C-alpha cells in the first residue's frame, strides 16, 4: 500500500465506481500519484474533491465545468470552507437562472394553452431567447423566422 489510498478504497468511500473515478481523472478532477507498480495512490483530500464533484453534478454542472471550478484549488488539497462557500454561491446562481428560465417558459406556455395556434410565424413559443436544453446535444440548427 505504501502511503495513500487505492482506487478501490476511494470507490468504497465515495460510492463511485472505480471506472468513474478513472474517468474523472481524465477530466482532471483528481490527479493521483503512481506507486512503483504504476498503481494510482490517492490522498485523503481526494475523497473530498470527489464528494465535491458529485454534489456539483447533482446541481447540474458538467464534468468540464466542475474541473474548471476545481482548477482554482490546489491539486491534492481539499476545498476549504471558503472555497466551498464561493463555489456553492456560484452554483446557487446557476440554479436560480435555470428556475427563472423555466418560469418564463411556463408563463409563455400558459398564454398558449387553449390557443392551439402553433403557427410558425406568430406562436410565442417558437422564438424564445432561452432554450431549455442548452445541455445535451440537440439539434444545433436554430429555428429561424
Contact footprint for a second copy (CB under 8 A):
13-17, 20, 48, 51-52, 54-55, 57-60, 79-81, 84-85, 88-89, 91-92, 95-96, 98-99, 102-103, 105-106, 109-110, 112-116, 118, 120, 123, 125-126, 128, 131-133, 135-136, 138-139, 141-145
Residue 134 engages DNA in binding (rule: CB under 7 A):
no
Contact window for DNA (CB under 7 A) among 20-28, 68-76, 77-85, 108-116? 20-28
Please, what is the minimum distance in Å from the beta carbon of residue 22 to DNA? 6
Least Cα distance to 101 among 124, 135, 126, 132 occurs for 132
Strands 40-41 and 33-34: antiparallel
The Cα 76–Cα 45 span in angstroms is 6
Q: What is the DSSP letter of 132?
A: S
Amino acid at each position: 500500500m505504501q502511503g495513500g489510498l487505492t482506487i478501490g478504497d476511494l470507490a468504497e468511500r465515495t460510492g463511485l465506481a472505480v471506472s468513474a473515478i478513472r474517468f474523472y481523472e481524465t477530466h482532471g478532477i483528481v490527479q493521483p500519484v503512481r506507486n512503483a507498480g504504476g498503481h494510482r495512490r490517492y490522498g485523503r483530500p481526494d475523497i473530498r474533491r470527489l464528494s465535491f464533484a458529485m454534489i456539483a453534478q447533482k446541481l447540474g454542472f458538467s464534468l468540464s465545468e466542475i474541473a474548471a471550478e476545481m482548477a482554482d484549488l490546489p491539486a491534492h488539497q481539499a476545498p476549504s470552507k471558503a472555497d466551498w462557500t464561493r463555489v456553492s454561491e456560484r452554483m446557487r446562481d446557476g440554479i436560480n437562472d435555470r428556475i427563472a428560465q423555466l418560469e418564463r417558459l411556463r408563463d409563455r406556455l400558459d398564454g398558449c394553452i387553449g390557443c392551439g395556434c402553433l403557427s410558425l410565424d406568430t406562436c410565442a413559443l417558437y422564438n424564445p431567447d432561452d432554450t431549455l436544453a442548452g445541455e445535451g446535444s440537440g439539434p444545433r440548427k436554430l429555428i429561424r423566422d
